[in-house]
Structure 1
Amino acid sequence: MKMENVEKFNEAYINDDLKKCEFELFFLMLMYNTDIRDGKEYDHDLKHILFKTNCIRNPIGMKYTDRDYEKTKQILGDVLNIANAINDAKVDTRDIIQEGITIDKRIIKDVLDMAAYTECFYKMNSVNSARMDECDAGKIPFIEQLISLVVFNQDQTRLVKENYMDFINQDYQTGMELSIANRPVEHYENLEVSVSDNFESILESMNEIIHYLYYRFGENLKVQIVNTDIQLKRVHPYENADFEKYLYIASQRFLICRIEEGIRYGYYELGYVDKSQEGIREYAFSLENDEKYKARRMGVLRREYQVRNHTLLDYRNQEDIPIIYEKLSILSDELIGIQTKEYALFEFSKFHPDKALFQEVEKVAEIKERIVESLTKDYYLDCNVKGICIRDLLITYKYLDTLSEVLYFASLKCIDNKKQDTYFKEISLVDISYLSEELSRMHDFELEYAEKLIDRFIFHEKKNRDDDIFSQPLLTISKSQVILSQALLDQVNLDRFIERQFIRYKKNVAEVGHIFERKFIEKLKRGYSKGIIDFKYKEIPNFHVNTNKVKYEAFDGKEIEYDVITVLGDYLILTELKAVMTSYDLNELEKRKENVKEAIEQLNRRKKSVSYDWNIFKKLVSIDLPDEPYDENHIILIACTDTYDYTPLKKDDVFITDDSSYLKYFTNPYLDVVTAYPESASIRNVKSIWRNGYPEAKEFMEYLMNPVTIFPFANTIKKIYIPVPVMDEKDCAIFCEEYILPEDPIVTSMSEIEKKQKKTVINHFKKIYPNDLCPCGSGKKFKKCHRGKGIYD
């Protein structure tokens, strides 16, 4: 019913029938008001449905017009006036609504939020766009602007690499050093960011400018080729106030877009509106659902740590690294040697290195490839997405990344820190045909297939709405050329790159659910080990896993099928698995949340079926169950995904977690901490999860809301307000809540655990006699249960 009103609203909006829009919006308010009076939960539902269906247009969108602003402002303003009049006892509104009815304040707050959102972001978009158009750095030709951006980013990366030791602990490394917010921000006092955040801001700003440049010039990009001896007098990113201002404006725009997206997808709500002493309008946006956002933020940090953790543990090519870099230096000398003219940029057209030598040097990029292979489910890697195998894309990335490293090493031998014009050698303009032909030669791909592989990494000059520099690092600069930059290749998040393939080409991943379920059960059946380097598995005590397929016609006449059924002590655990992939965009995250909602509904139905269909259920499972069904207080419901974005949440008595956290409790009940020292890496078991030496149901439920996989971050992240830069009185002052990492979570967690261990001596395993009850909780005597199995001996 509500969607019918939404459709009528949108139709009336297109036809400029504003009175009809007001009527449909007001009717929606009344329907939600009735829901609240009937006792239904209200969670910003009106605002969410209007944003989701684009009834409230995005004021930062390219197609948003002044007319859109005036229409939206009038609709929301008139509806607010009606609602306030209804709630005012002094105003007679019996001709509008039944006497005695008032509109819930939460619904009115939603309309106020949307009105403030429209006002704030329309104004900021207008001011920011004007600045972009007026800035002198934005008036130089397209090619020079693009090269300026890439050279600046590349050189900033070079400086960080050269000064890397200044950012880390000299004694040991945890992998999180660059994520700690400990570096001051220029435009605001008492605000600090991390090196990673600073680089992300530069990249996001570049992404905004690049989209803007291609929006303006992409359709008319008729240049067939840009010569490598082009005049670059106007390309001076350093000591250039206009260029610095240009980046500053872009940085402002990125933050505005980021906050707008957060509001649109239900992460932020309006906290307050005020005026500063200088008369500038202030808008503060607070987290709409702190638990939801915190879970998302910790998921991001967990992924960062997991990648860096694997890097520290990757011993396989440690001994080869010096040799690889020697060969890399040989190739860079070869690149320098083929330059026939003193060009400002390196020329690659005659660079055809020995195949065996180049493949040896490709090992420099293999750590990243191995990490993504170890962290990505095989189904995704083996999948074919619109004619391209994902594993072949990883090979292509390895090739491109290695080529960019050759360029980087060559540039280090040629640039002069005192001569800014030599910095141009850090990037190159390369023919797309060259990249395809060399990829085909190096890895024996058919040329046509190699062309398709390279194309997946190209940021296109038009129809590039779904492109970004984080997945398409090869920037088109002419009809036949792209910019090659080591910094842009190196920052590619391959996990996200893979996700983008599935999103862009609408690849159905339902099949992976069956593989996910099979492997999940296999890991539970395998048992537990004492750490990530212990490959001896033991039976999990006090725990039983069903291995039969359980499917039948349920009490409601509909078929029902269970994913994972286990018993822990005297509790039944029903687990629904959902393969949803990691989400790097909020809109995708919200879409996939529907899978979690579906899991919650399925689990609650299965819980009812256990009660109503107990005899059928009991016969079908492979584990022994009691004669009477479990009461509802002894049934644990878990929605488990293959992503970290929803851990730890709880909805309708259903725990929401990820497979890594879930399996950790049962199959590896120890906290492993990895640190790297100058000469080696170290792994330490610093904490046992099972307090009594075996898993218990109540402990497991407590664990699900605070798993060890998140506690280093849960204990250290801090919520602060992040400001958007204010450039003059034309701006609004916008603030939003964000979680930062003020200290190294791994170091902090290790210190806290060690302090507790010094204060308390826990005797997990007291002397157990043969006729004592087994500690596993089975109810059997020790001599007939786990005696001699190594768990309690």
Structure 2
Amino acid sequence: MFIISDYTFRNLKMHLKKHNFKESVSIMLYIFIEENDFFNKLIYDEVIFDPLDFRTKEDDMEFIFKVVNAGSIILEKQIDEGLIDKDIHNRFMFEAQNFVVKIKTLYESIKENQNLLSDNDFVNFPFKKQIQMWCNFIESQSIYSDREVENKIKDSGYFTGMETQTVEDDNHNSLKDNLEALLEIFDTLLNFLHFTSHKKIEGYGNVDFKNISPFYIPSIEQISHLTNHKILLENVWDKIKFRKWDYKIYRENDHSTTPVYYYSPPNLRNLKLERAGIIRKSYHEHQSALKPVSFSRMRTLRQELDSHSESVLNDLFSLKTNVFEIGVEIIEPKIQFSMQSTYSKIGDSFYQKNIDEDGDVSLEDIYFGFSYLLSLGYLYSHFSHEIFDESNFKMLCPVVSITRIAADFSSKFSMNKRTAKKIIEYFVLFPSTPNRQKDVFSKPLVYVGNDNIVFTPYIVGQMNLDRITERILSDSEIDESIKGVNLEKELITALSSSAHLKVNNSKVRFNAFDGKEVEYDLIAVFDGKIILIEIKCLNTPYSDYEQKTREEEILKGVAQVNRREEILIKEPEEIIDRINIELPKENPLKEDIVKIVCTDVFHYTGRIEDDVYIIDSSALSKFFLNPKIEVTEMKDTPIIVDKSYIWENNPDISTFKRYLRMPTAVERILLNLEERTRPVMLLSDDSPRLAFADYILKKNPYDRSEAKKTTIKVGRNEKCFCGSGVKYKKCCGR
């Protein structure tokens, strides 16, 4: 017999796992009636078996379906007995059917994948050979991509930094998307290969395999497709699980009876803004890294480098200092931008903090390792790409011992070998690396046994210092709150320098009318309005789970700034007594206040939640400090091909509100984003048809032909370009 405390998701999970039928049905129905969003919580709280987990068996899934079906029958009987309202049964039926379709189609898809994978010959290759083949494949694709970009630049006579981001013709992916997909496939495949290789890795570390070409081997092509198929399924599942994406059923054509389950988010506009933010971040990083570059100096350095091709290809990890320093200088702008970007978030206090148990390694040491590997990656690819042809893959991705790399690093950065080896090992992906840290963007050196790693220049070049830093800080129990303090100080200092804005610099903290303490991050006055800003320092999201947690932080900020508005309206004297600026009104009303959540990531800029504008600190500062918008062609002497202004003479509040809704940098990208269906590939005619919504960059927003399209011309009754689905006059045209 159950008591009320037994009716929990935790107990439901236990009984489902044990296949306890009566208990599972009883608890399920009780929680469903008491809780909203029951079936989504089953998924998010991992109460049910994961349909994509290879350990989930068919009888596990059948048991869940049996429990759900029994629940429907019981509720129907309770309607006849007058115990429940019919609406409860109808809601259960609708939500249960939706739930069953989601997990059943995903489970059927992954089982088909696993059956094909078990017959694949590639899994029987030695681990080292598997990794060499895959790394060679990735590196070769980066060469083809570089050559395509070079042709684009040659045809146009200039480059913008967006050449790899645009999608041409009827392709679904840009060059950048394709290469990132390969890295995702490799990341996923590594976990599988580590699992299948077990303890066999060490035995082949020193074996020199003759044929490591990835081409013309059907099993490699198949495993690539199967891994990509699994990634797409995981993509759909994560969006269902963490972001509440739902499906609509379509048909392939008028005569088809086969359903296509098309997944999309609750808010398409937010998805479009998120995609625009990712593209804008990439462009911002590229342009910022290029600003200090002298193109004539780069040419001179490359010419100097050309006389050292033999030493670089044969002795990469024992180069003479003068050759290594050429590589460092060439890659320096990228290194400096990465370091400055990270440094601005964490400040001085983190640089010298020890991040290992023995106290030998600091965050600064990790940055030295980052700089060292990035420079070597550039040097090696500069020459190996020139001589590459498909008849010889030996030179693309060298195999080298960790000890040798550490010795060279120790010599070039004047540190003891023990510390140097620890630092290099931070960048090595071992079989024993915890799953949450298995990430080639942070650990690009793949261990293949007997102290050896495969050095893949392209993967090394994709290292993300922000990501590395965030992982290290989260794992080393260092208090990261200082990052938020730094962002707040930086923003207040920047906005205080504007002649158009009065910014409070005094601390405002007190116990409010609701009995709780309140603290205002930033209060300012602009054009007769009060600006309330909540500042949120966030780590960049790289997954749907991280997107969900960051969005929760944003929405928490929305609630906080709305509470501060309420307190300001009810207790204005408490704020007036504590600030060093004069408010335009002693008793402000809602219409006198503009509310903003400002963050340091680009993904949410342009969103409006509960009457609160979301914007990033870069875009906010741009409005008040530098309203000039320039599009530049990168040549020996950069050429400005378009210039416009967010405002001229003096800004006003209506211009500011329009800008908050759609900052110019975001608008330019949104104009060129196009919704595109991404289908999950079919493994057979019987495969479930699954697809999901995405946006692609159809045109380069910074191309000369597009540069002057700084405003979007759209009829007031047409659908808004931002993706909201409503008329322009009721959205961004307000």
TM-score by length of 1: 0.82
**Alpha-carbon distance in 1 for matches of 2:614, 2:385:** 49
Is this contact kept in 2: 1:719–1:738, CA < 8 A?
A: yes
1:144 partnered with 2:129:
yes
Which one-letter code corresponds to 1:221 in the other structure?
I
Evaluate the alpha carbon distance shift between residue 50 and residue 666 of structure 1 in structure 2; reply closer, same or farther with a 3 A threshold: farther
Q: Which moved more, 1:6-15 or 1:380-389?
A: 380-389
CA contact (8 A) 2:244 2:266 kept: yes
Corresponding residue for 1:461? 431
Q: 1:70 aligns with which of 62, 76, 83?
A: 62
Correspondence for 1:774: none
Find 2:46's aligned residue among 37, 54, 75.
54
Aligned-pair CA distance for 1:80: 4.8
Q: 1:373 to 1:403 in 2, by over 3 A?
A: closer
Indicate how the Cα distance of structure 1 residues 99 and 112 shifts in structure 2: closer, same or farther if over 3 A, else same: closer
Map 1:319-718 to 2 at 5 A: 319-335=296-312, 351-380=317-346, 382=348, 383=350, 384=353, 386-387=355-356, 388-412=361-385, 415=388, 417=389, 420=391, 422-466=392-436, 467-505=438-476, 507-527=478-498, 539-540=499-500, 543-626=501-584, 628-677=586-635, 679-683=636-640, 686-690=643-647, 693-718=649-674
Which one-letter code corresponds to 2:227 in the other structure?
A
CA distance in 1, matches of 2:373, 2:282: 23
Match of 1:788 in 2: none
Change (3 A) 1:682 1:413: closer
Q: 3-state DSSP class of the match of 1:193?
A: coil
Q: Is the 8 A contact 1:571 1:630 kept in 2?
A: no
Q: Could you list the per-position Cα deviations for residues 604-636 of structure 1 after superposition, in whole angstroms to 9, with x for gaps in the alignment?
A: 221121122211211111111256310112112
Q: Which residue in the other structure is 2:268 paired with? A: 290
SS of structure 2 residue aligned to 1:239: coil
Residue aligned with 1:223, SS: helix
Letter of the 2:531 partner, please give it: I
Tell me which of 701, 705, 708 is aligned to 1:751.
Answer: 708
Q: Shift in Å at residue 48 of structure 1?
A: 4.1
Tell me which residue corresponds to 1:123: 108
**How many Å separate the matches in 2 of 1:590 and 1:617?**
33
Aligned pairs for 1:232-251 (under 5 A) are 232-233=210-211, 235-251=212-228
Q: Does 1:301 align with 2:258?
A: no
Aligned partner of 1:5 in structure 2 is 8
How far off its partner does 1:182 sit?
Answer: 0.7
Residue 298 of structure 1 and its aligned partner are, at CA, apart by 1.4
Q: Tell me by how many angstroms 1:369 deviates.
A: 1.0
In the alignment, which of 163, 166, 175 is matched to residue 180 of structure 1? 166
Q: Secondary structure at the match of 2:26?
A: helix
Inter-partner Cα distance in structure 2 for 1:429 and 1:462: 20
1:720 matches 2:676: yes
Corresponding residue to 1:167 among 144, 152, 174: 152
Distance 1:109 1:330 in 2: 71
Residue of 255, 268, 272 corresponding to 2:245: 268
Q: Is the 8 A contact 1:385 1:501 kept in 2?
A: no
CA distance in 1, matches of 2:666, 2:429: 35
**Pair 314,626 (structure 1): closer, same or farther in 2 beyond 3 Å:** closer
CA distance in 1 between partners of 2:131 and 2:365 (Å): 29
**Any conservation in 2 of the 1:299–1:645 contact (CA below 8 Å)?**
yes
Structure 1 residue 668: Cα displacement: 1.6
How many pairs does the alignment contain? 699
Percent identity, please: 21
Q: Give the letter aligned to residue 126 of structure 1.
A: K
Question: Once the 2 structures are TM-superposed, how far is the Cα of residue 162 of structure 1 from its aligned partner?
Answer: 3.5
The aligned amino acid for 1:201 is A
The CA RMSD over aligned residues, in Å, is 2.9
- Counterpart Cα distance in 1 of 2:387 and 2:152: 26
Of residues 27, 30, 34, the one that matches 1:31 is 34
1:215 is aligned, of 176, 179, 195, to 195
Residues 555 and 278 (structure 1), Cα distance of their counterparts in 2 relative to 1, 3 Å cut: closer
CA, structure 1 residues 413+627, in 2 after alignment: closer, same or farther (shift >3 Å)?
closer
Q: Aligned partner of 1:181: which letter?
A: V
**Secondary structure at the residue paired with 1:622?**
coil
Separation of aligned partners in 2, 1:3 and 1:719: 46
Distance 1:289 1:310 in 2: 32
CA distance 1:625–1:378, change in 2 (3 Å): closer
Over 3 Å counting, the alpha-carbon distance change for 1:591 and 1:606 in structure 2 is same
* Structure 1: gaps of 5 or more residues: 34-44, 86-90, 184-189, 339-347, 528-538, 757-793
Structure 1 residue 503: Cα displacement: 4.1
Relative CO higher for 1 or 2, CA cutoff 8 Å, sep ≥ 6?
A: 2
The 5 A counterparts of 1:732-751 are: 732-747=688-703, 749-751=706-708
Match of 2:718 in 1: none
Q: Does the residue aligned with 1:376 lie in a helix, a strand or coil?
A: helix
Name the CA distance, whole Å, in 2 between partners of 1:482 and 1:362: 22
Partner in structure 2 of residue 98 of structure 1: 84
Q: Distance in 2 between matches of 1:722 and 1:491?
A: 25
C-alpha deviations, 1:586-615, integer Å up to 9, x for none?
Answer: 212212223223212221221121122211
Per-residue CA deviation, residues 496-541 of structure 1 (Å, 9 max, x unaligned), is 33333334446542221111111111000112xxxxxxxxxxx22x
Q: Secondary structure at the match of 1:93?
A: helix
**TM-score scaled to structure 2, two decimals?**
0.88
| 1:255 and 2:221 aligned | no
- Structure 1 Cα separation of the partners of residues 126 and 135 of structure 2: 15
Structure 1's 625 and 140: CA in aligned 2 closer, same or farther, altered over 3 A?
closer
Q: Is the alpha carbon distance of 1:404 and 1:616 closer, same or farther for their aligned partners in structure 2, counting shifts above 3 Å?
A: closer
Q: Select between 55-64 and 449-458 the one with higher mean Cα deviation.
A: 55-64
The 3-state SS of whatever aligns with 1:718 is strand
Kindly state the Cα deviation for residue 337 of structure 1 after the two structures are TM-superposed.
5.8
**SS of residue paired to 1:270:** strand
Instruction: Kindly state the Cα deviation for residue 732 of structure 1 after the two structures are TM-superposed.
Output: 2.0
In terms of Rg, which structure is larger?
1
Partner amino acid for 1:51? Answer: I
Q: CA deviation at 1:336?
A: 5.1
Say which SS state the counterpart of residue 745 (structure 1) adopts.
coil
Aligned 8 A contact 1:267 1:289 in 2? no
Compared with structure 1, are the counterparts of its residues 449 and 22 closer, same or farther at alpha carbon in structure 2 (3 Å cutoff)?
farther
Which residue in 1 is equivalent to 2:120?
135
- Which among 269, 285, 291 is matched to residue 313 of structure 1? 291
Moved more, 582-591 or 73-82: 73-82
Task: Label 1:47 to 1:686 Cα distance change in 2 as closer, same or farther (>3 A).
Answer: farther
Q: What amino acid maps onto 2:318 in structure 1? A: H
Q: Deviations over 1:719-762 (max 9, x none)?
A: 12111221322422221111111111223652324999xxxxxx
1:72-87 matched pairs, under 5 angstroms: 72-80=64-72, 85=76
